[in-house]
Amino acid sequence: MNYYFCVSKNFNQIRVMKTIQFREAIAEAMSEEMRRDESVYLMGEEVAEYNGAYKASKGMLDEFGPDRVIDTPISELGFSGIGVGSAMNGNRPIIEFMTFNFSLVGIDQIINNAAKMRQMSGGQFNVPIVFRGPTASAGQLGATHSQAFESWYANTPGLKVIVPSNPYDAKGLLKAAIRDEDPVIFMESEQMYGDKGEVPEEEYVLPIGKADIKREGSDVTIVSFGKIIKICYKAAEELEKEGISCEIIDLRTIRPMDHEAILESVKKTNRLVIVEEAWPFGNVATEITYQVQSQAFDYLDAPIVKINTADTPAPYSPVLLEEWLPNHNDVIKAVKKVMYKD
């Protein structure tokens, strides 16, 4: 772990920064909140004795014991329901799914109970629970282990949906999710757990529902989130060599979505490309497209282009998988299209 000092923009605050892995940021967020609040606990498959399927809960069993870091049977429906019931009774559970593909087994508890309980009880019960784990593809895992469910859960009133792209955002947003009074879907990626990034040594919490401009630009706005945003950075670097300036917005939170950040950027650049690791029908990019054309149509100098996976189940073949996923060349082509340079 590397440490260094950083002076803030207003030059009156010195922050001690450290470089850690994404999995370490997740573990730190959960551990800090469990130290702060005894009602917080972690439950899921292999979270305790094995230190987490992706080592995202390493050391937590030793510190907090088996009453607060709880290994479960392979029964997502069962432990999701236990979590919802315990949240209704004053606890703040963190429910880990080994992958969100497995959350489908317990989706009734998430959609029909966690998301609706506050309204259906007339405000008598709230459900402060976090469901977290990996989403979307993670290499050659086959069609049933490579699905992106952000738009599925974001389509449900009562749920908040967060998809961070780096350790800093992951830690700050997970702490906010654990403190939130409503159910939060917190989606990660198996291919990001080893990613390294800088986080402050001191405590910090990021606001839910606030997008982040990762790269400022003037010619075109690129909106993305999660691990697929990495291809946007690569594309922007190559396009810069051709004199094309890309502004990259990381949504961070899918619901509530920061429409204002997107609209303000589009009003500046007049062009929009959306990159999402999901099937093309009825997804997050579709919603963004509608919001922009309905609220900023007169600012657009070109039709909006959205980039998604192919409209098929994820293939197992590495050659087909590479074709199925969006890549930086797709982004470059889309940017040139909206700038009429293709």
- Can 76 be counted among the known catalytic residues? yes
Of 45, 76, 96, 277, the active-site residue reads 76
- 145, 150, 247, 287: which is the annotated catalytic residue? 145
Q: Reply yes or no on whether 145 is catalytic.
A: yes
- CA–CA dist 229, 95 (Å, integer): 26
- Residues with catalytic function: 76, 145
